Structures are given as C-alpha cells and as structure tokens.
Amino acid sequence: MSKSGMNRRQFLHTTAVTAAGAAAAGTGTILVDPKGAWAMSLQALDEHTATTLVRVARELYPHDRLGDIYYAKVVESLDGKAVANKDVGKLLADGVAELDKAEGAVKWLDLSPGYRLASLKQLEATPFFQTVRGECITGIYNNPDVWRHFGYEGPSFEFGGYIERGFNDLGWLENT
C-alpha cells in the first residue's frame, strides 16, 4: 500500500468505476490517453474533435518536455467553453472538419508533420485557429505544473521581486 492509502489495484478500480459512472450518467465523451497515463471527461466535444485539438495544441506549441496531459488540459478548458457557449463548440467542430478535409480523404491526424503544419497555416487567420492558439497560451504557460519543466519558479512579486530572490542565481555563468 502506498503512503496515500491506496494501492494500484484500488486506484485502477476507482478510476474505472468513476469513468463507467460518468459514461452511464451521459456526461459526454471520455478521452483516454493511448498510453493510459491520463483520461478526461468531455461534455461538448466528441472524441475525434478532442483528440485532434490535443494534437493541434502540440503542433502550435511543441515542447518535447511536456506530456500530452498538459495539452489535454487546454482541450478540457475549450470543452468547458463549448459547454457554456454552443457557438464555441460549433467553431471547434467546424475547424477540425476543415483540417480533416484540407488534404482530401486523409484525416488531419493521419497526415505527415509537414502536411499537418501546412494545413494549420492555411487556417491561421480564422477564428478557430485564434481561439485554439489563445487557449494554448494561457492553458500551457499559466499552468504551474508546466513551469517546473521549464525551470520557472513562478512569480516572485509576493516575495519582493527577483532582485533579492534569484536575480543573480545563474549557475552556468562564471562569477566575474
């Protein structure tokens, strides 16, 4: 048993029961990481739209250090906005449909990286692209869980600023 009081078997059972309960209650789609590392419940977006949006977020802001869970959090936020405003849900679904038809019969997720990027560039000026881009900026870079991957210790204004807290802490720079 772990320090949290729950062993792996109990965790998996609890997660499965919760997911089954959410599905039975009709809360929407459950998006599961193919590697099994995370899952989320969606209320407005379907699985294909959500999966595509996770990949779009990674294409827009690619960071090898970040797992898909951080990009999925962006999609979860977009799903919440789509629940609150049906027009946002339609915008996202229509945007994914545009991406899927950009290269003919091949879905956007199945395209090579170069074609995926070219398809995204074609939509750069659209409200769909700008909505997803804006959500990525706040959803990724305002997330304290992401900061540690970049070595950012967080804001320091509540500690008096950086002058007395890390301004001169450059381990890679020789003391002169």
Q: Is residue 138 part of a domain?
A: yes
Quick one: which of 103, 87, 105 has its CA closest to 44? 87
> What number of other Cβ atoms are within 10 A of residue 21's Cβ?
10
Instruction: Quote the pLDDT of residue 105.
Output: 83
Q: Is residue 22 part of a domain?
A: yes
* Residue keyed to tokens 């029961």: 17
Q: Render pLDDT for 48-84 as a digit per residue (tens, 0 to 9).
A: 999 999 999 999 999 999 999 999 999 999 999 999 9
Instruction: Quote the pLDDT of residue 137.
Output: 97
* Cβ(135)–Cβ(77) below 8 Å: yes
Q: Is residue 155 part of a domain?
A: no
Q: Is residue 123 part of a domain?
A: yes
Q: Is residue 150 part of a domain?
A: no
> pLDDT below 50 — which residues of the chain?
1-2, 4, 24-25
What is the rounded distance in angstroms from the CA atom of residue 141 to the CA atom of residue 165?
21
Q: What's the domain range around 60?
A: 8-144
Please tell me the pTM assigned to this model. 0.75
Q: What is the phi-psi region of residue 18: left when phi exceeds 0, alpha when psi lies from -120 to 50, beta otherwise?
A: alpha
Instruction: Quote the pLDDT of residue 167.
Output: 67
Q: Is residue 171 part of a domain?
A: no
Number of domains in the chain: 1
Q: Is residue 162 part of a domain?
A: no
Instruction: Quote the pLDDT of residue 86.
Output: 96
Instruction: Quote the pLDDT of residue 29.
Output: 73
> What number of other Cβ atoms are within 10 A of residue 29's Cβ?
20
Q: Is residue 173 part of a domain?
A: no
Classify the C-alpha dihedral 66-69-117-88 as positive or negative.
negative
